[in-house]
Amino acid sequence: MDITLDKKDSNLASIKVKLNEADYQSKVDEKIKDYSKKAQIKGFRTGKVPKSVIVKMYGKSILIEEINHVVGHAIQDYIKDNALKILGEPLPNQQKIDATDWENQVDFEFEYNVGLVDEFTVALDKKVKVTSYQIEVDDKVVAETMENVRTQFGKMTNPEVSEAGDILFGTFTGEGDFSHDSTVDPSEISSANAKKFVGQKKGDQIKVDLSKLYKDATKQAAQIGKTADEIEGMDMKFTFEVKNVNRKELADIDQELFDKTFGPDVVKSEEEFKAKVIDTVSENYVRETDAWLNKTIQDELIKKTKISLPDEFLKEWLKLSGQGKVTDADIAKEYDLYADQLRWNLISGQVAQDNEIKPEHNDIKEATRKMIEAQFMGSGLGQLGDQMDSFVENYLQGEKGENYMKMAEQVQQEKVLGFVKENIEIKAKKVSLDKFKEIVGA
């Protein structure tokens, strides 16, 4: 067997594998012998089928299978032994495979294209500048949050006549005998369109054009119980007959509201409630601003770190690995996002390697504990107490070790970002919530 690497560019190469008969024939003979023992063919006793019959019936498929097996292992061993940093998976030269004469050849040559990681360096210094935003919790935000909480735990009523903010339940009717029960939430549509749903009562009929009511075709379709594909070319003008008006009245600011929001007896006065709301909002904002800071850091390092990718190779690999589910249009639309994520993974891996950053087992367990704790608290199930260690171990052992690897990767990413933050310049800036939303495009 002869294996050679033909480097076509800094990030693209081909691995050529030449086989002679001695490289594969013994394995082929062994497989034919095994077939002879097990094959059940009419006219022959089991285990007594002549080799010539097996060769005639299965010889070509056995040959192809064994050669693919030999070549596949040879490619992987070559990559490992030569410490090649590859992207994706090796792609066979299909033209050469199609030109192979499996009936008559005894010597074979195969070629596999491989994408390579080009050499690059990550510069972490004060020349890398990013902004860390701090959202100010002003009176407007506090008032809106308290109103949202009071709405969430408020009581549902059914007034006779609708007002702004009420949700209407009714029936959409259209051409023929079409009808579908649905709800209309005016908060999801423009203020101009929402006006027609104010002052309505049971039995009133409202003429609507769903294509003007909602910009999103999926939402238009959902209102009448269909999919976006099903409404293509459909007349979207309907009559909506009101059957019920639903209004959420604000909950009183009392101990019942305090307990429902933060748990029994956590706060006991309106002042304490407001202070706790401010703390909670601040914590949520920190999570949002931290997530944006991490994205900003990634984007900045991707921009400053020049990594050349074998784009055409990767596009071909993505399409083939998608097994018919990925189209050229999908790749054209999503490739830039994929390429940037790949660049960040390479940068993150290089920073970890250069600075010996590794996810320790205790770090992985602690991150898992926090994740599970947040899930239980978020669902209102409270603390797990002594059962937490058992939940952590069960999760990390689940999915045949995949959960452990996923958490290890998450911990390493957090450590890498922590290291990066210590070595670049981060400028803090206070902004309003509205300004932050404008910055992130929310």
Q: What is the CATH number of the domain that holds 374?
A: 1.10.3120
* The pLDDT of residue 271: 94
Residue 93 sits in the same domain as residue 171: no
Residues 418, 271 within the same domain: yes
- Residue 383 is predicted with a pLDDT of 56
- Nearest one of 300, 302, 312, 304 to 341, comparing CA atoms: 302
| Residue 52 pLDDT | 86
Same domain? For 286 and 219 the reply is: no
- For residues 95 and 174, state if they share a domain: no
What does the DSSP assignment read for 292-353?
HHHHHHHHHHHHHS-----HHHHHHHHHHHTTTS--HHHHHHHHHHHHHHHHHHHHHHHHHH
Entry pTM: 0.72
The number of folded domains in the chain is 3
Q: 């769903």: which residue's tokens?
A: 210
Assess whether 338 and 211 both reside in one domain.
no
Whether residue 271 is found in the same domain as residue 385: yes
- Same domain, yes or no, for 323 and 423? yes
Which CATH number characterizes residue 209's domain? 3.10.50
> Is residue 277 located within the same domain as residue 426?
yes
Domain boundary among 249, 275, 292: 249
Sorted by sequence, the CB contacts under 8 Å of residue 338 that are 6+ apart come out as 314, 318
Q: Look at residue 385 in the predicted model and tell me its pLDDT.
A: 61
End residue of a domain, out of 85, 116, 147: 116
Distance in angstroms (rounded) separating the CA atoms of residues 408 and 396: 10
pLDDT in tens, 143-202: 999 999 998 899 999 999 999 889 999 999 998 889 999 999 988 888 888 999 999 999
Q: Which residues contact 418 (CB under 8 A, 6 or more apart)?
A: none
Selection from 66, 284, 247, 42 nearest residue 151 by Cα: 247
CA atoms of 303 and 289, how far apart (whole Å):
21
Domain contains 142: no
pLDDT digits (tens, 9 = 90+) for 214-236: 988 999 999 999 998 899 888 99
Are 234 and 270 in the same domain? no
Distance CA 80, CA 91 (A): 17
Predicted confidence at residue 187, as pLDDT, reads: 86
Q: What is the pLDDT of residue 367?
A: 93
Check residue 36 and give its pLDDT.
84
> Is 310 contained in some domain?
yes
Residues of the chain with pLDDT under 50: none
- Statement to judge: residues 238 and 327 lie in one domain: no
Q: DSSP assignment, residue 201?
A: B
Of the residues 181, 214, 249, the one at which a domain ends: 249
Q: Is 304 left (phi over 0), alpha (psi -120 to 50) or beta?
A: alpha
Kindly report the CATH number assigned to the domain that includes residue 48.
3.30.70.1050
150, part of any domain = no
351 and 386 share one domain:
yes
Residue 35, pLDDT score? 85
Q: Give the domain extent around 198.
A: 155-249
Per-residue DSSP letters for 57-88?
Answer: HHHHHHHHHHHHHHHHHHHHHHHHHTT--EEE
Count, residues in the chain: 442
Single-letter amino acid code for the residue at 70: V
Instruction: Identify the helix (H) or strand (E) that includes residue 354.
Output: helix 328-354
Whether residue 354 sits in one domain with residue 278: yes
